[in-house]
Amino acid sequence: IAAGINSAQAEDYPARTVTVIVPFAAGGPADITGRIVADIFSRYLGQKFVVENVGGAGGTIGALRAARAPADGYTILSGHVGTNALAAAFYPNLGYDPLKDFEPIGLSAEYPELLVVRKDFPANNLKEFVAYAKANEAKLNVGHAGLGSVSYIGCLLLHSAIGIKPAMVPFTGTAPVLNAMLGGEIDYECDPVLGTLEHVRAGTVKALAVAAKKRSPMLPDVPTSYEQGLPEFDIAPFYAVFAPSGTPKPIVEKLAEALNKGLGEEAVQKRLADLGADIIEPGRRGPKALGDLINSETTRLMPILKAAATK
């Protein structure tokens, strides 16, 4: 018996609808990824997995709700490197321990971030952006999905490399940031490639750089931060699934196995690749690989973020 659920109940899992908490607004990268994952679970486990968007405070409100849910497999979290590792750099009292309060299930996808500016922003490449941003720092409005979100972390790295501290405006996700940018209220954002891909292609916003060593196959004309002399702007956040800690092992294993199978499907891989994702190879799937990645990313990025935040 673990956390109020007996082994027979664990064997029968899932016997009813499962809630997948997505800790950001509908329509953005976290939501799109969470829905792909929920669909995989529904298909392999024969029950409905329903996404619930619980936005706010950089995803930490939704993550906290998942951490405190009964550890019975009926509430799980589709989080990311922010909610489940790096947010701790920005909140003295997160209310949950990203390492101790969750059972890792597995990675879902990784996407490089883009620097995206409104259509009429007076810069067409990173060099022009840096010059404009330095000269107009007080006028800039940067949109992000809250302190500790990956859009916040991406632009924090960018700003720290340039040496500016413009106004950072929080939203409940980057889908609403994009709307505000289309409306001209926000100048730019740093968002995983899938967030703005269609708008970049349609020319309703401009992508100035991909924050990676390699260009994105989905946007081959957008140069990298490295090509443009700003290698510090390098971020490809991972999105991943978690259950509250204490969730019985058979349930964790069922979820992990379903996710592994789904990620191995050609159709799922094509869908993710079309969104600009780096596909998670078999050796990086599952609870152990995710747990190791969280530990290594926390160790690698915490000092960089803490330094950037105080710069």
- Chain positions contacting ligand MLT, by CB under 6 A: 24-25, 28-31, 59, 82, 145, 149-151, 173-175, 192
CB of 169 to ligand MLT, least distance (A): 13
Shortest CA distance to 174 belongs to which of 48, 31, 42, 34? 31
Q: How far is the CB of 174 from ligand MLT (least distance, A)?
A: 4
Closest CB to ligand MLT among 9 and 298? 298
170 with 147: CB under 8 angstroms?
yes
User: At its nearest, how many Å lie between ligand MLT and the CB of residue 146?
Assistant: 7
For 27-30, which contacts have Cβ atoms below 8 Å and span 24 or more sequence positions?
27/173, 27/175, 28/145, 28/173, 28/174, 28/175, 28/178, 28/191, 28/195, 29/111, 29/150, 29/174, 29/191, 29/192, 29/194, 29/195, 29/239, 30/59, 30/78, 30/79, 30/80, 30/173, 30/239
Is the Cβ of residue 145 or residue 252 nearer to ligand MLT in the bound state? 145
User: Closest distance between ligand MLT and the C-beta of residue 80, in Å?
Assistant: 6
Complex with ligand MLT: residue 25 or 211, whichever CB lies closer:
25
Q: In the complex with ligand MLT, which residue's Cβ is closer, 175 or 272?
A: 175
**Min dist. Cβ of residue 288 to ligand MLT (A):** 25
Q: Which residues contact 57 (CB under 8 A, 6 or more apart)?
A: 91, 146, 147, 148
In angstroms, the CA 14 to CA 87 distance is: 31
Nearer to ligand MLT, 28 or 276 (CB): 28
Q: How far is the CB of 21 from ligand MLT (least distance, A)?
A: 13
Query: Of 59 and 248, which CB lies nearer to ligand MLT in the complex structure?
Result: 59
